[in-house]
Structure 1
Amino acid sequence: MTPSHTNLATGIPSSKVKYSRLSSTDDGYIDLQFKKSPPKISYKAIALATVLFLIGTFLIIIGSLLLAAYISKGEAGRAVPVLIIGNLVFLPGFDHLCIAYYASKGYQGYSYDDDIPDFDD
């Protein structure tokens, strides 16, 4: 007497499972597996880029006003570090906002998946 085999996934004995032969025109692929899924938009990364852009813009404006001595007289020495920090914060924010804009408009070579980091864990 041979032991009966059971399909572990469904619990159905293998003697009751019906198999059918694939058609000769079927190459084993379906169209759905080649369909591109919609891009996953990372709203956290775009929000961070917006915050960096706004802080950088604010620091550049303040640094320019300090350098022109419009805010306070004799404080031009503080303007250079503020301008440097403003540029270091502004540039990545501006870059990522441009990439997000071009990706949203569908320009060739820009995508959310490849160019914008995903912070969702």
Structure 2
Amino acid sequence: MGEKREGPRVRYSALSTQEDVDNDREFTSKNAHHEDLRYRFELREEIPWKSIALALFLLAFGSLFLVTSHFIFTAHMGGDSSQAYGFLVLGFLLFLPGFYETRIAYYSWRGHKGYSFSRIPAY
């Protein structure tokens, strides 16, 4: 009845001190010439021509479908509104990935910071 219940006993590690930080800096400065090969990763810089061709194809046909849906909606072309919605959906599905990868390829070709051909998947 009068028993006092204790919680679980957990051991905590000591907090780091300034001495630990100084020792760590000393260790890294001594071993700066050694590279940890586990974290080494090289990106290939070859140009993925097939992926860029696919991106241009998607961009061209997506643009064509979007323009076609616009012409059907504005009655410059014959067709039903359900056809226009189909062209609109297909146009967006083709245009968006094509524009995205074409933009990455263009900025990589121009040498903008943060863009490289390795960000485009190679097929």
Instruction: Output the TM-score relative to the length of structure 1.
Output: 0.63
1:77, distance to aligned residue in structure 2 (A): 2.5
- 1:82 is aligned to 87
Instruction: Output the TM-score relative to the length of structure 2.
Output: 0.63
Does 1:44 find its partner at 2:50? Answer: yes
Of 64, 72, 82, 1:66 maps to: 72
Of 58, 63, 83, 1:57 maps to: 63
1:69, distance to aligned residue in structure 2 (A): 1.3
Is the contact between residue 68 and residue 76 of structure 1 (CA under 8 Å) also seen in structure 2?
no
Return the structure number with greater helix share. Answer: 2
How far apart in 2 are the matches of 1:63 and 1:39? 39
How far apart in 1 are the matches of 2:58 and 2:121? 15
Is the contact between residue 63 and residue 83 of structure 1 (CA under 8 Å) also seen in structure 2?
yes
Mind listing any 5+ residue stretches in structure 2 that lack a counterpart? 1-32, 36-41
Moved over 4 A (4+): none
Give the CA RMSD over aligned residues: 2.2
1:117 partner letter: P
Of 86, 107, 121, 1:117 maps to: 121
Judging changes above 3 Å, is the alpha-carbon distance between structure 1 residues 37 and 79 closer, same or farther for their aligned structure 2 residues?
A: closer
Mind listing any 5+ residue stretches in structure 1 that lack a counterpart? 1-26, 30-35
Judging changes above 3 Å, is the alpha-carbon distance between structure 1 residues 107 and 70 closer, same or farther for their aligned structure 2 residues?
A: same
1:80 partner letter: Y
Is the contact between residue 69 and residue 76 of structure 1 (CA under 8 Å) also seen in structure 2?
no
